[in-house]
Amino acid sequence: MSPAAPTSASPHPNPLPRGEGGRGFKLYQCLFRPLLFSLPPEAAHHVGICGLQAIGAPPLRQIIGSVLRVSDPALRVTLGEGPRAIHFANPVGLAAGFDKNARVLRGLEAMGFGFLEAGTVTPVAQPGNPKPRIFRVPEAQALVNRLGFNNEGIPGILANLERTPKLSIPLGFNIGKNKDTPLDRAADDYVKCVEAFFPRADFFVVNVSSPNTPGLRNLQAPSELEPLLRAVAERADALAAQSDRPRPPLFVKVSPDEDFGESVVEIAIKFRFAGVVATNTTRSREGMPPATPPDGGASGAPLRARSTELVRKLYRAAAGRLAIIGVGGIFSAQDAYEKILAGASLVEIYTGFIYKGITLPRDINRGLLELLRRDGFKTVGEAIGKG
């Protein structure tokens, strides 16, 4: 699949070009990306985390934020109603996996995101799978990872959060189970994460779809998913009652490779989940060169069409009863717009952020404003599902 392949979701015959960006984009493409890409992917990520730690300190945070934030009422999105509502200044978020340990939330906040998703978090710290475990596939604008939920666990991440003031944008926690926790005890791990991060969470994402933890995707089967989502919902309800605050919105993150879409929708609605995150990485290597590592989950441009089609399918099945966060292959405003037209209320980036750099959230938001005006939509909300 070509990274620039058109989509039937766009109602306009002449969409904006995918290669938007200004001086910041060119500087990243010409200078910083070659330097980072000269390092092994995981080492480059560590360098990026160090840079974001510096950006997160004042006054650099304020300076960067003033350049990269895009503020316009047309971009605002609200999920839910009344005290349960959660407000987003713009629909572009950062997907889980980038800041697994909630170390650089302030720096990422300055990038102009509308929300952030930390994690995946597991109750006990774990090292993940052996290295090397991240691979770039630049010919396909893709990444392959087989990380395996490497993270510092609840105690380490809580310590990081204690050093982080409350953000001005919504913060979600992507939660999972430890590798050695048997599937029949998986709910215990998810509940522990809800308990630990409830005071700081604006929303939770139940991750049952990573391909890098053995057996995890079996939790998407209805017989496994229903008791898991029930346990998470009941514990979140109890904590909300104890703290006299609304229950944070709950989402479930699904795979692009298994066809559990409609059953996931009905189970999520049954337990008053706010929505579905579509999608996680794929085991498929369609659209990627033969030398691509066979193990692990692929993200980036080859996932774009598949994830957008699942967004569309879930949107139709939910019929307005759930919100959808679209993830997969977003490198431009046009890519994000395709997912919104397919039914996504919000979108998340990850691989595009690696390839395009820190100006990507700004470029997407600016481009979305142009696309909305071009097609006669006054707000993002008006465009949702109109493809």
Catalytic machinery residues: 210
Nearby residues of 270 by Cβ (< 8 Å), 6 or more positions away: 226, 229
Q: What share of the chain is helix, strand, coil (3-state, %, to 5)?
A: 45, 15, 40
Closest to 236 in 3D by CA, of 247, 246, 226: 247
- If one counts every other C-beta atom within 10 angstroms of the C-beta of residue 295, the result is 13
CB 75 within 8 A of CB 125: no
How many angstroms separate the CA atoms of 326 and 176, rounded? 19
- The dihedral through the CA atoms of 291, 293, 297, 300 has a sign that is negative
What does residue 86 show for φ and ψ, rounded to 5 degrees? -125, 130
User: Radius of gyration (Cα) for the chain, nearest Å?
Assistant: 19
Query: Residue 245 carries which DSSP code?
Result: S
> Following DSSP, what letter does each residue of 128-192 receive, concatenated?
-SPSP-EEEEGGGTEEEE---S-B-HHHHHHHHHHTSPPPSS-EEEEE---TTS-GGGHHHHHHH
CB 228 within 8 A of CB 219: yes
Question: Omega of the bond prior to 120 within 30 degrees of 0, cis?
Answer: yes
Question: Omega of the bond prior to 279 within 30 degrees of 0, cis?
Answer: yes
